Structure 1
Amino acid sequence: MELSAESVWQDLQEVRRRAPVVHNITNYVAMELSANGLLALGASPVMAHAREELDDILAISQALVINIGTLSPMWIESMRAAMKAARHRGLPIVLDPVGVGASRLRTRTARELIEEVAPTIIRGNASEVIALHADLRTTRGVDSSAAAEEALEAGFQLSRRFECTVSISGEVDHIISGPQQLRVMNGSALMTRVTAMGCTASALTGAFAACVAAPLRAATHAMAVMGVAGELAARRAEGPGSLPAHFLDCLYRLSESELRDTLRLAQGPGREEASRP
């Protein structure tokens, strides 16, 4: 895969040109920032979780994002139905296993969802990826208590088992697909002080997946744009209260020159084959 600001810019322009409809079944905390992030990116968000309208919404959508941040029995059934319908329609599916490992309900729900319909991309923090794979109780609420590097083995295992791309966010973002591993080294620690930033990264990943055929490229470029916009926003913000507004502005106004001057991408060591559990 080509690693360059030019390829990221090309895909960002494609998202802006096509304005894909991204159907989100997400949590109450993340809805506003995720929707505004998609709009600033140039995509069209739909936040809908009623089982009765899923077929209609998915018929006009180009991607599905599932986020388990605030679960209820009704939402779980809607997630299950939406993933099956999206797979039937050939739509890319992004799963964000928010807080997996913090409760039995979250862990069981996420595992059942991916066992029934393997997502195109799993995007979570290190603790969530580890817990999703190994059911380790390393998640502190919905925040990560592990570094992204600690989740690499789990990421390779999940990617191999479900034939999907795994995007692990952290100080350095690691994106894994089969034996391949890419790294995005953008962002700011201030982003961790604002709730729903990770959820917004998953929403943006859905927009890129709608327009970019290769999931590894889509996930990497989504995290690249997210990280660059967050890094630029942090330079302007006075604290976590003003960061979201600056983030949305930077995402909306992101230029090719800003991307070229700020972006830091690298090839990871990869794996010949993930070891079997």
Structure 2
Amino acid sequence: MKEKLTKALQALKQKTPLVHAITNVVTVNDCANSLLAVGASPAMCEAADEVFEFSQLAGSLYLNLGTLTKEQEMAAYLAIRGATLKGIPVILDPVACGAIPRKKATIERLGHFGRFTVIKGNLGEVKALAGLAARVRGVDSLDEGNDGLEACQSLARAYGCVVAATGKVDIVADGQRACLIENGTEMLTRITGAGCMAGALVAGFCGAYEDAFGATVAALLTMSLAGELAQETSGGELPGTFRAHLIDQLSLVDEALIEKRGRVQWL
């Protein structure tokens, strides 16, 4: 499986997939820069009169519900419809769905317009979507329960897609396969946008590599490895310095680093 992860990274850098992103205003720049750093091409297109056609030209579609406006909601319906018609991967980041009921209703409606290839959220968001009790504070998960794998597998079967729950240990499942990614650093929780950047990376990898499960694992492992190296090279616990180093390290993650430092437990 580790060979699949290196192949996913190779495919990303060779194909330079166009990622159509409708994301939140807090992290739009971070998502664009993280995609550029790993070799993808971001397009932050969310005008309702453009997205239906544009989504059909992209390699993947990333929908992030973090600061969902009515205009973004309409754009998301049109974009997922266009992407689904063309068989283009759709990555959903259900930010704060455990705290704001409207988000869950929006996700349900999105499912009527198209289908999700990957749902990527924190553990609280994944559990909330799976119908399990979740501990959340706004966009943050306070949940560290041992039922994360069960939640991911249940949600994956319900939506027929890959599900990823990020946290101290990232969980990825597709209803049949599952794994735990044990890389990462606490510093990723001290900056705004790390989760959104990870979601954007999943969209980038899925736009270049056909196996959505392998692409998702490779994307989250890339983010976690970059976080580890950013903490090591920034020389301390300063979040601003860490953020700058994180973008740099995303551009430096390669196949050799995945082979050497990747800690993935296949289940």
CA deviation profile, 1:61-103 (whole Å, cap 9, x unmatched) = 1100000000111111111111111000110000000011211
Residue 181, structure 1, aligned to residue 178, structure 2: yes
TM-score (norm 1): 0.91
Task: Point out where structure 2 has 5 or more consecutive residues left out of the alignment.
Answer: none
Q: Residues of 2 paired with 1:241 and 1:205: CA distance?
A: 24
Correspondence for 2:251: 252
Matches within 5 A, 1:8-19: 8-19=5-16
Indicate the larger mover: 54-63 or 85-94.
Answer: 54-63
Q: In the alignment, residue 71 of structure 1 is paired with which amino acid?
A: L
Give the TM-score of the pair, scaled to structure 2.
0.94
Instruction: Indicate the SS of the match to 1:64.
Output: strand
Are 1:142 and 2:142 counterparts? no
* Alpha carbons of structure 1 residues 59 and 83: separation in structure 2 relative to 1, 3 Å: closer
Match of 1:23 among 17, 20, 23: 20
Match of 1:152 in 2: 149
Q: State the shift of 1:10 in Å.
A: 2.3
Which segments of 5 or more consecutive residues in structure 1 lack a partner in the other structure? 269-277
Runs of 4+ in 1 over 3 A off after TM superposition: none
In the alignment of these two chains, the number of paired residues is 265
Given residue 96 of structure 2, which amino acid in structure 1 is its aligned partner? G
1:228 aligns with 2:220: no
Aligned partner letter, 1:33: D
**Cα offset, 1:236, TM superposition:** 1.7
* Number of the residue aligned with 1:262: 261
Hey, what does 2:93 align to over in structure 1?
A: 96
- Residue matched to 2:122: 125
Q: Corresponding residue for 1:107?
A: 104
CA 217–33 in structure 1, closer or farther in 2 if over 3 Å, else same:
same
Say if 1:37 and 1:251, in contact at 8 Å, map to a contact too. Answer: yes
Match of 2:37 in 1: 40
SS of alignment partner, residue 242 of structure 1 = helix
Percent of aligned pairs sharing the same letter: 34
Work out which of the residue numbers 41, 58, 62 in structure 1 matches 2:59: 62
Return the alpha-carbon distance in structure 2 between the equivalents of residues 138 and 197 of structure 1: 20
CA-CA distance at 1:55 after TM superposition: 3.0
Q: Is the 8 A contact 1:131 1:139 kept in 2?
A: no
Q: Return the letter of the residue paired with 1:225.
A: T
* CA distance, structure 1, for counterparts of residue 260 and residue 252 of structure 2: 15
Q: Distance in 2 between matches of 1:22 and 1:8?
A: 19
Following TM superposition, by how much is the alpha carbon of 1:12 offset from its aligned partner in structure 2, in angstroms?
1.0
